[in-house]
Amino acid sequence: MINILFGGNYKVFDGILLCLMSMTKHCNEPLNIYILSAELSELNPDYHPITEEDRKSLENVVKEKNKNSQVKLILLGDEFKNWIINSQNKLSIYTPYTFLRLFADKIEGIPNKLIYLDTDMMLNGDIKELFDIDISEYELGVVLDRYGHIFIRPKYFNAGMLLMNMQKIKETNLFERVKEMCLNKKMGFPDQTALNKCAKKKLYLPRRFNEQGNLRDDTIIQHFSKRIKWLPYFHTQNVKPWQIEKVHSLYHWHNYDDIYEKYIEIKNQKK
């Protein structure tokens, strides 16, 4: 059983759907999916949680490949809401839902090992290859941030993919220390920067497990993160997996086309 963790509100449904569709394409193992969400309409009228209907739709996708796969939706309550309301970083370039993962150690029965994924990722290989990496002596398995390890510091990692040893994280109080930092100190990349500063036991993994640039032959996880383009003038490019026309026209990637075809069918049925 491979344990996967996502977090977000109802708007990330498409991202999780595409990620799981690409994951099941390459992986035969049963998947144990955890999705963290929360009601935060007090902060923003559009901050509504993922629904039970969404959960069922996602579970249908993973069960189609392996009947033993499952999707669990966990709604965080007042503890998360009160923390985010008081945090110095409740308003940042990211939604407050990025902090949901920092409460994973509070969930009863959470597995000792799981992979956290941002919702703008797609799989080009078997996720089992990542899950099978031994991190028994580490808090996290991470990949360097494409730009951060150049412009911030050499060992700065990207938090979009985290191979997490929950037992070690609980022992070192990693998430508690990260939350304390995010609560009291305003930061540009809040929990990612805090994770970089607080995590002491990290195993650095090859870029193929969180490829933030061009697709390579050995890529396992493709991260559709923001890119810097220098020519013909300096600008940024931020294409997401569900923006199919841009994936084709700007990146010229067609390796996902079979997934996109099924994705459009599911979206039409959902409507």
Any idea what the CATH number is for the domain that residue 196 is in? 3.90.550.10
* Neighbour count for residue 250 (Cβ, 10 Å): 13
- Are 23 and 54 in contact by the 8 Å Cβ rule? The answer is no
User: Is residue 251 a part of any domain in this protein?
Assistant: no
User: Is residue 97 a part of any domain in this protein?
Assistant: yes
CA distance 229 to 249: 15
User: Is residue 267 a part of any domain in this protein?
Assistant: no
98-122: average pLDDT: 97
* Pairing state between β 235-237 and 227-229: antiparallel
Q: How many domains does the structure of the chain reveal?
A: 1
CA angle 60, 65, 67 (to 5 degrees): 70
User: Is residue 269 a part of any domain in this protein?
Assistant: no
**Ramachandran region, residue 198 (left: φ > 0; alpha: ψ -120 to 50; beta: rest):** alpha
pLDDT band at 40 (very low <50, low <70, confident <90, very high): very high
User: Is residue 263 a part of any domain in this protein?
Assistant: no
- Give yes or no for a cis peptide into 96 (omega within 30° of 0): no
124-139: average pLDDT: 98
> Which is higher by pLDDT, 43 or 62?
62
Asked if pLDDT for residue 235 goes beyond 80, the answer is no
Q: What is the pLDDT, as a whole number, of residue 90?
A: 87
User: Is residue 48 a part of any domain in this protein?
Assistant: yes
Q: What is the pLDDT, as a whole number, of residue 110?
A: 96
Mean pLDDT of the chain: 95
- Are 83 and 100 in contact by the 8 Å Cβ rule? The answer is no
Q: What is the pLDDT, as a whole number, of residue 230?
A: 76
pLDDT band at 192 (very low <50, low <70, confident <90, very high): very high
Cα 158 to chain centroid, rounded: 11
* Pairing state between β 157-165 and 113-117: antiparallel
- CA proximity to 172, closest of 203, 140, 147, 204: 140
User: Is residue 244 a part of any domain in this protein?
Assistant: no
40-45: average pLDDT: 92
Task: Please name the amino acid found at residue 62.
Answer: V
Range of the domain at 169: 2-227
Model confidence, pTM: 0.96
Asked if pLDDT for residue 271 goes beyond 80, the answer is no
Residues 6+ apart with CB under 8 A from 84: 40, 43, 90, 96, 99
